[in-house]
Structure 1
Amino acid sequence: MVFPVRIKYNIIILFSLLLYFRNPVAKTDSSSSNNGYYVQEMNALFALKAMFNDPFLIQNWTGIHCFKDFPSQWYGIQCDINSAHVTGIVLEDMRLNGEIKSDAFADIPELIVINFKNNIISGNFMNFSSNHKLKDIDLSGNKFYGEISRSLLSLKFLESLQLQNNNLTGPVPEFNQSSLKVFNVSNNNLSGSIPKTQTLQLFRSYSYSNNPYLCGPPSLNNCSSTGNYVTNSDDKGSNDLKIFYFLLAALCIVTVLMLFIFYLTKRTRKPNIMIKKQEEYMDQEKESGDDEEEEEEKIGKGKRKLVVAGEDRNLVFIDDEQPAGFKLNDLLKAPAEGLGKGIFGNSYKALLEGRAPVVVKRLRDLKPLSTEELRKQLLVIADQKHPNLLPLLAYYFSNDEKLLVYKFAGNGNLFNRIHGGKSSKNRIPFRCWSRLLVARGVARALEYLHHKDKSRTQSAVIHGNLKSTNILLDDNEMVLVSDYGFSSLVAQPIAAQRMISYKSPEYQSSKKISRKSDVWSFGCLLLELLTGRISTHSAPQGINGADLCSWVLRAVREEWTAEIFDSEISVQRSAAHGMLKLLQVAIQCCNKSPEKRPEMAEVVSELEIIKVTESTEEEEDFSLDQSLTDESLSISTVASASERP
């Protein structure tokens, strides 16, 4: 009897499980205990599923959650394939709703990772006293309330605790684990003095910000000046002192206002204000609570002038090569169009009179760098000169503003080219040949950044944030990689939250990134190119994606490889062989073990020999081509190898 492929796969799993439970070792007390843990874990997960009542989880959390020698088929569940125990629950950005119980994880003792980031989950803060192996806890962006459980103090291996953007109250526990490297409790309702443990004092003030009743270093709230923390507040002398300080403060405010009014009446030149953009875009900024920009009167037809705050200074052009007729004043007077919000700042298209337009990126959330330190870091970025890198033209730096000026790429970014307008009749299909050219261009740029050359003044550069929105296409469809080298400009905790390389498997386990992290990001980018699906690691804000690495590996294991490819390239039967070769490269780059990933020089060599016909004729869907069987099997071998640690 011939079984369909997926049924064969399920039969193999069931047969493996029967062997597992029939193993004579299972009769020992230790194994019986393990089986007990197994049932407890499954019951705990079923309780979570019932609480969330999410259609996607209801459909995907069925059958056996963990089994030996196979990865879990439950979405977001990570298992140890040797012990068949749950080690991770990662359900971020799923809009999950429900009230979780405080003992929800008591029966999952092998947990290492819990990630519920950006959902709508509520409930009293959980007790983790049974989860001694926990390393990474991310509950940020939810509605958890109550005090932070002191059970966290017993977690000796805790490396990352992110609880920002919740409704937590009470004090901050006395965390002093030397392993704790990432910590954030901002945007809650915590109160009291921050404990003076060595670990907690190492984190910056933003880890504690927007907790009005939390005081003491490293926060910016002074305990002695906060009414709730002044001792003997009912004492008459204390009240008199408060009244005195209040009157003194009022007098200072009146004096400052009078001086300010006098200054305005004497001032003959109006100061520059801040970066401006289109009116509709500014309205969106206001709705999202972004108070970094101020609005001026409308100028022209829907255009905004590009202006910066602070004293009048000049743009600093790279290599001191200032283009004729392009000065800071020209930039300030130019109409500006908002291009979008990036993770490190907003971007604007400045329309210079008589010149090609440029892009101005206004940076935020930088490290506290001096002018000289910032100049050195920007020169490192500017030193990277390659045809597939977006060149930095100039920069501007003051206490109030930090601007980067780039060449404008007229054909937008790769994300829009892959995913935009697919339902439109006017869309130009994105064929195999064009996608291969993009892959080659990005690979060459990364190879250049990673390569150490004596002729270059700087050492290798890690991109750190490679994703489809940072791949641009100019008027000639030339691939230009942007936003490289920014990891040197921002604080590590912010980089860990926002940059793609920090989502790699090695950072989740060892909190380290390297050039191989860029290789992993490149593999994810290739899978986005091939599948036409949005990656959860690089999806823009407000858009949900899929874990493409896991999804593709599962597709390869179950031998429905041809179903992986985007419909716009699956119609090109003549390109099937080349696309399968590109898929092999992507799977190698996505290997969980960094040392098993290729170097970018090897990737470039592999891509250069891939042959794809440039024809745009629609042909028979190559998923029907039986000749792909052997090729798919070779990919299965690569996929199996990529899963082994």
Structure 2
Amino acid sequence: MELSGTIDIDSLSELSILNSFSVINNNFEGLIPEFKKLERLRGLFLSKNKFSGGIRDDAFDGMRRLKRVFLAENDFSGHIPSSLAQLPRLLDVNLHDNRFDGNIPEFQKSDFRVFDLSNNQLEGPIPESLSNMDPSAFAALFLIRNRKRKAKNPNPVEAVASKPQSSIAISSEEAKASMEARASMEPSISIETKSIDVVAVEAKAATTTVLPIQNIEDGGGGAGGDFNFVREDREVFDLQYLLRASAEVLGSGSFGSTYKALVSSGQVVVVKRFKNMNKLGKQEFFEHMRRVGRLTHPNVLPLIAFYYGKEEKLLVYDFAQNGSLASHLHGKRNLGLDWPTRLKIIKGVARGLAYLYREFPDQKLPHGHLKSSNVLLDHTYKPLLTEYQLVPAINKNHAQQFMAAFKSPEASQYDSPTHKTDVWCLGILILELLTGKFPADYARHGKNASEELETWVKSIASGEVLDKDMVGGSNGQGEMLKMLRIGMGCCEWDEGSRLDWNEAVAMIEEVKEKDNMEDESSGFSEWDLSFYSETL
């Protein structure tokens, strides 16, 4: 209802039989009110508002009846209050998509029905009471667990090949969450002293499971049924073999869960589950996925197979060994990508996007979900686009809420993406690569995302914007600045002034690793960003 203003706790406290208070999906902002005055409260639902700031450590003192606490998708910061963790009857805790930091407190309860701390800034050890939680509860966190291990680690692919299927624990190249890993874990970093296993945004970690997919009928082999292979250059396996294969949880996002599975002959694949992919009928879905399966380009991750079910769909892709671009820019695996590597990635992304534009001239959004977490890197850091061509199949409301293209100005304001909308996403990606800064509130969902992204783009105009990890030791600063201009041209708020996809690709191809000799003398110790006055 877009409610805002002040929540009058004193008036509410006079309602002696008040059990539950919910203002989900409104516009309340500021510090959390003093709900502990409502001692009889059993349910508190504040998700999807604009609450911000820290929560006092004693904020939940005395609320011994409280069972359900939903604070997700706000802007809370600071530590998770210990008084929340000590509530004796707590069953549901949902704090995802905030800015909580510090350590996770030891929760008195361990048998939660709902528990989600994902997409915060938490770090430190996982408390023992939470050691058996679903890995998705800790997606996109920076967590550690100390344990003894060898200083030198085997290659993850070799580790997979050397283990029997019954006990395999694949080292993840892109795990958003995998906190159930124990002694079977293949560690992902090599250090000489005390061992620390790092679980970060798509950092390396591992857990073994089976695909927890319920009520899937036998789809048969690749030749028939509802499980279909779309490529002839991959070994065929049937659905039941896939469902029984050892699988590693890579993450859980707005579309569903992602798994890494070892199938026949040591082939490693990625399986993505979708529960909001019912826009197309069965025959239309088959035709669309077969069309997607025919795509062949060095910078597009190939679709191998798909499963069609009434309630959920599976898409099976090749596995990219080096994880996602987001994990290298913002996660613990950040190795400081240099300028030549970033230029290679930008050019590869642009070429892959241009290929999709050519293959789908009938569609406004040939990709639709282009962002750094959907750009994977192979062992040579060659970029591979993934999660493309989902818009035709994803439920419209879900696409509008979560997909990158729908955070563009024209899509968010007028519900009308254009053939330049994917170019806008490309521009955001270029700026993210050049600055090393995560787009402000890009993970936030809803109607305000595009305005917040506009603010982020404009903020780049102030200060030394280029990522120091990229600039160091390079004489290509003029070329970096040229690429920055291209990125800004792709991000034009006015769609009419924005670069077209073929213009953007052509300009990107002209950017070089090093400046021309006549450019080197000019220097860029303080970046000349006067061009922003022309583009903003």
TM range (shorter): 0.5 to 0.7
Is the partner of 2:499 in helix, strand or coil? coil
**Aligned pair in 2 of structure 1 residues 317, 282: CA closer, same or farther (>3 Å)?**
farther
Q: Compare the two structures and name the one with the higher helix fraction.
A: 1
Question: What residue number does 1:592 align with?
Answer: 493
**Aligned pair in 2 of structure 1 residues 324, 505: CA closer, same or farther (>3 Å)?**
closer
Q: Percent identity among equivalent residues?
A: 32
1:440 and 2:358 aligned? no
Show the 5 A alignment for 1:240-259: none
Deviations 1:263-290 (A, max 9, x none): xxxxxxxxxxxxxxxx9786244799xx
1:389 and 2:278 aligned? no
Aligned residue type for 2:438: I
Is the partner of 2:266 in helix, strand or coil? coil
Question: What residue number does 2:370 align with?
Answer: 466
**Aligned pair in 2 of structure 1 residues 285, 98: CA closer, same or farther (>3 Å)?**
closer
**Aligned pair in 2 of structure 1 residues 310, 595: CA closer, same or farther (>3 Å)?**
same
Q: Offset of 1:461 from its aligned partner?
A: 4.8
Question: What residue number does 1:338 align with?
Answer: 249
Q: Offset of 1:493 from its aligned partner?
A: 1.8
1:601 and 2:532 aligned? no
Question: What residue number does 2:458 align with?
Answer: 553
Aligned residue type for 1:344: F
1:283 and 2:179 aligned? no
The 8 Å contact of residues 367 and 490 in structure 1, kept in 2 or not, is answered as: yes
Question: What residue number does 2:321 align with?
Answer: 410
Question: What residue number does 2:278 align with?
Answer: 367
Is the partner of 2:476 in helix, strand or coil? helix
Is the partner of 2:492 in helix, strand or coil? coil
For residues 432 and 464 of structure 1, the distance between their equivalents in structure 2, rounded to whole angstroms, comes to 27
**Aligned pair in 2 of structure 1 residues 564, 306: CA closer, same or farther (>3 Å)?**
same
1:97 and 2:31 aligned? yes
Q: Offset of 1:538 from its aligned partner?
A: 3.1
Q: Offset of 1:118 from its aligned partner?
A: 4.2
**CA RMSD between the two structures:** 4.2
Larger Rg: 1
For residues 354 and 95 of structure 1, the distance between their equivalents in structure 2, rounded to whole angstroms, comes to 55
Q: Offset of 1:435 from its aligned partner?
A: 0.4
1:358 and 2:269 aligned? yes
**Aligned pair in 2 of structure 1 residues 606, 630: CA closer, same or farther (>3 Å)?**
farther
For residues 451 and 270 of structure 2, the distance between their equivalents in structure 1, rounded to whole angstroms, comes to 31
1:304 and 2:214 aligned? no
Q: Offset of 1:441 from its aligned partner?
A: 0.8
The 8 Å contact of residues 237 and 264 in structure 2, kept in 1 or not, is answered as: no
Is the partner of 2:258 in helix, strand or coil? strand
Aligned residue type for 2:472: V
Question: What residue number does 1:641 align with?
Answer: 534
The 8 Å contact of residues 411 and 417 in structure 2, kept in 1 or not, is answered as: yes
For residues 391 and 287 of structure 1, the distance between their equivalents in structure 2, rounded to whole angstroms, comes to 29
Question: What residue number does 1:530 align with?
Answer: 434
Aligned residue type for 1:534: F
The TM-score with structure 2 as length reference comes to 0.58
Is the partner of 2:438 in helix, strand or coil? coil
The 8 Å contact of residues 414 and 472 in structure 1, kept in 2 or not, is answered as: yes
For residues 138 and 470 of structure 2, the distance between their equivalents in structure 1, rounded to whole angstroms, comes to 40
Q: Offset of 1:380 from its aligned partner?
A: 3.5
The 8 Å contact of residues 51 and 98 in structure 1, kept in 2 or not, is answered as: no
Is the partner of 1:404 in helix, strand or coil? strand
Higher relative contact order (CA 8 A, sep 6+): 2
**Aligned pair in 2 of structure 1 residues 545, 414: CA closer, same or farther (>3 Å)?**
farther
Q: Offset of 1:400 from its aligned partner?
A: 4.4
The TM-score with structure 1 as length reference comes to 0.49
The 8 Å contact of residues 365 and 422 in structure 2, kept in 1 or not, is answered as: no
Q: Offset of 1:367 from its aligned partner?
A: 2.4
**Aligned pair in 2 of structure 1 residues 501, 351: CA closer, same or farther (>3 Å)?**
same
For residues 482 and 345 of structure 1, the distance between their equivalents in structure 2, rounded to whole angstroms, comes to 15
The 8 Å contact of residues 347 and 359 in structure 1, kept in 2 or not, is answered as: yes
Deviations 1:372-410 (A, max 9, x none): 122123234324322111110001112344111000001
Aligned residue type for 2:375: I
Show the 5 A alignment for 1:198-347: 283-285=134-136, 300=167, 301=184, 303-306=208-211, 308=213, 309-314=215-220, 315=222, 316-319=227-230, 321=232, 323-324=234-235, 326-347=237-258
| Unaligned ranges ≥5, structure 2 | 8-25, 34-46, 53-70, 76-93, 95-129, 140-164, 168-183, 185-206
Deviations 1:487-521 (A, max 9, x none): 11122221111011111111233221122111111
**Aligned pair in 2 of structure 1 residues 589, 280: CA closer, same or farther (>3 Å)?**
farther
Question: What residue number does 1:74 align with?
Answer: none
Show the 5 A alignment for 1:563-602: 563-602=464-503
For residues 391 and 483 of structure 2, the distance between their equivalents in structure 1, rounded to whole angstroms, comes to 29
The 8 Å contact of residues 135 and 249 in structure 2, kept in 1 or not, is answered as: no
Aligned residue type for 2:341: S
1:503 and 2:407 aligned? yes
**Aligned pair in 2 of structure 1 residues 307, 353: CA closer, same or farther (>3 Å)?**
farther
For residues 166 and 400 of structure 2, the distance between their equivalents in structure 1, rounded to whole angstroms, comes to 40
For residues 364 and 585 of structure 1, the distance between their equivalents in structure 2, rounded to whole angstroms, comes to 37
The 8 Å contact of residues 472 and 479 in structure 1, kept in 2 or not, is answered as: yes
Q: Offset of 1:583 from its aligned partner?
A: 0.4
The 8 Å contact of residues 397 and 403 in structure 1, kept in 2 or not, is answered as: yes
For residues 286 and 628 of structure 1, the distance between their equivalents in structure 2, rounded to whole angstroms, comes to 45
Aligned residue type for 2:357: H
The 8 Å contact of residues 527 and 548 in structure 1, kept in 2 or not, is answered as: no
Aligned residue type for 1:313: G
The 8 Å contact of residues 520 and 589 in structure 1, kept in 2 or not, is answered as: yes
For residues 600 and 319 of structure 1, the distance between their equivalents in structure 2, rounded to whole angstroms, comes to 28
Question: What residue number does 1:379 align with?
Answer: 290
Is the partner of 1:418 in helix, strand or coil? helix
For residues 405 and 576 of structure 1, the distance between their equivalents in structure 2, rounded to whole angstroms, comes to 40
The 8 Å contact of residues 440 and 456 in structure 2, kept in 1 or not, is answered as: no
For residues 549 and 579 of structure 1, the distance between their equivalents in structure 2, rounded to whole angstroms, comes to 21
Q: Offset of 1:416 from its aligned partner?
A: 0.6
For residues 393 and 232 of structure 2, the distance between their equivalents in structure 1, rounded to whole angstroms, comes to 24
Deviations 1:3-52 (A, max 9, x none): xxxxxxxxxxxxxxxxxxxxxxxxxxxxxxxxxxxxxxxxxxxxx9x989
For residues 228 and 239 of structure 2, the distance between their equivalents in structure 1, rounded to whole angstroms, comes to 10
Question: What residue number does 2:82 align with?
Answer: none
For residues 474 and 27 of structure 2, the distance between their equivalents in structure 1, rounded to whole angstroms, comes to 36
